[in-house]
Amino acid sequence: MSDKSSPPEAIHIKDFSTHGNFPVDYHDLHALSAEVVGLFYAQATTADELKTDAGICLAFSAILQRYWHLCSIVTLLEDESGAWREIGIHADHHIDKTKAIRTAHLLAVCVSQQGKECQLWLNENYEVEPDAVTNTGEPTQTETSDEDSSHTASSQVPLSQSSTSNASPAEVEEARAAFKILGVRAGIAVPIHARGHFVGAFIAMCAKPEDLREAVAGIRFIAAPIVIALSNAKHAEAMNKQQSHIARLVEDLREHSTRLEDANRELQRVARYRSMFLARMSHELRTPLTSILGFCEILLDQETLTAPQRRFCEKIQSSGLQQQESLNQLVDLSRLEAGQSELFLHEFSLREMLREVCDSLARQAKKLDVTIECAINGDHSTIVSDEGKLRRVVYNFLAFAISRSPAGTRVAIASEQFSATHFRISVSDGGEHLTDAESIFETFEAMSKAERGSTLNELGLVIAHRLINVLGGTVELTDLKPRGLQVKLEFAPNFHHDADESEHDSFTS
């Protein structure tokens, strides 16, 4: 055993900044602080090696090595399951890294159990001095006040001091044996805390105890910034992943945008071809259809036709008119979907327009034994709108009401006028309630019903609904009791009419 006047091999310190056994060079600590700040700056800028846990630990180890010679420096972190994870290790060429990590684990377990700093100091024979329980230069236990004694016992725990440590003799012996195998005589494990919670240990070991004594202050100083640097690296990694994810999303959006633009160009090309086809088809079919209808009209004017001949001519005329109406609807729908509809505004009589629509459908209503009641107030003045489009809207809804009304019932049409551009038209029938009223304005549903042979004018309703939007109006469907449907068409467009302007105004919709 060494002379009592010399420092004991097992020490227990209270305040390293004032303790005589651990000399503190404040110039070294100041320089150490500057290096740590420089490391943080390098981590935040360009140093890629400081983005990993191992690189950070090696960088801090290198800082310590520039001031003190330490044989081995190990950083261990505890995961959520309580297992220790090696973050970084520095070891001299004569130190076995595997054995160094195993020895560091023993000290880390002591720190984890005690929640305090643990130290192990051995003499030249790798033995722990059993009476080394106080610090040289410090008051003995009998000279220390209760407050100082309490503070001392709660600061650092020498692994060899059984009176203040819960480490069993077997654990102390295991650590001593590991030190001997590794070839070191002094070791210190400093706890690493984050937000008040224990997260790991910073372990330093040395073959010469005096070298470690000189480095204790620096080791304790370094332990705190390590967890900050590791946390910075973790946040930087998460941010990089997030940026990479955002970059991938942006790239995906660009690819989707490119595909959408290609699809849009293809749709425009198809729309142009469809418009060309409809225009040519309309022209090619209208020409012979006009001739057929004209000759039917001439034949029906002849008084010499027999009853069967007249019936056949009327059938040809009816089919031709129906075919002509289908062509007109297809062309109108194509123009509306392409946004090529124009408004031709002028003043006209709403009463006269409604009467003309009723007269044009009187024959169809009589054939189905349905009565048309046209309730038009006498105080109507002229309105300003597109007469042709409004006529088509009223015609289609009135035809729809007639076609769905049972024989012997009536269809009523009424109107109200609030101003030259604000008016309401309602059409009521006696048919069954609709299960899905809104679907009758969808093109797909109308086409599907037409393919199934529906007698309703669904395609005409689709066109009428589009025309209502062009005219700045709204449509409301209401079931009547006990049966029947009421369609309310209200028009209050934003355009204004000036009586001094030209009689006809054209607006592109």
Q: What residues make up the domain containing 426?
A: 341-508
Predicted pLDDT at 360 = 87
Whether 1 is covered by a domain: the verdict is no
> 485 - beta bridge partners?
479
Rounded-to-integer distance, Cα 498 and Cα 421, Å: 11
Q: How far is residue 497's CA from residue 215's CA, in Å, rounded to a whole number?
A: 94
Q: What is the C-alpha separation between 118 and 107, in angstroms, rounded?
A: 7
Q: Does 41 share its domain with 188? A: yes
284: in domain: no
Domain count, the chain: 2
Burial of 167 (0-12, 13-18, 19+ CB in 10 A): buried
Does residue 347 share a domain with residue 227?
no
Q: Which two tokens stand for residue 408?
A: 């012997």
What's the CA angle centered on 381, arms 379 and 386, to 5 degrees? 135
Instruction: Scan for tokens 């109200």, then name that residue.
Output: 416
pLDDT in tens, 124-136: 888 886 543 333 3
Q: What's the CATH number where 486 sits?
A: 3.30.565.10
Question: In b/e form, how buried is each residue of 353-385, taking b as 16+ CB within 10 angstroms?
Answer: bbeebbeebeeebeebebebebebeeebeebbb
Of the residues 208, 234, 260, the one at which a domain ends? 234
Within a domain: residue 321?
A: no
Q: By C-alpha distance, which of 268, 392, 270 is closest to 329?
A: 392
Give CA angle at 399 (394, 400), nearest 5°: 100
Q: How many residues comprise the chain?
A: 509
Residue 240: predicted pLDDT: 81
Final residue before a domain boundary, out of 234, 268, 290: 234
Nearest one of 399, 406, 311 to 363, comparing CA atoms: 399
Q: Are strands 485-491 and 423-428 parallel, antiparallel or unpaired?
A: antiparallel
pLDDT at position 138: 35
- How many Cβ atoms from other residues are within 10 Å of residue 305's Cβ? 14
Last residue of a domain, one of 187, 206, 234: 234
- Assigned domain for 273 exists: no
Q: Give the per-residue pLDDT at 487.
A: 92
Tell me how far CA of residue 263 lies from CA of 77, 252, 266, 270, in angstroms: 54, 16, 5, 10
Which residues are paired to 202 by β-bridges? 75, 190
End-to-end Cα, the chain, rounded Å: 106
Please tell me the predicted confidence (pLDDT) of residue 113.
Answer: 84
For residue 185, give the DSSP letter: S
318 found inside a domain: no
> Token pair for residue 141?
């236990």
Is 177 within a domain? yes
Contact 402, 368 (CB under 8 A): yes
- The H-assigned helical ranges of 381-503 are 387-404, 443-451, 458-470
In a domain, 17, yes or no: no
Q: Which residues of the chain have pLDDT under 50?
A: 1-21, 131-157, 160-165, 444-456, 497-504, 507-509
Instruction: Residue 173: give its domain's CATH number.
Output: 3.30.450.40
Q: Does 438 fall in a domain? A: yes
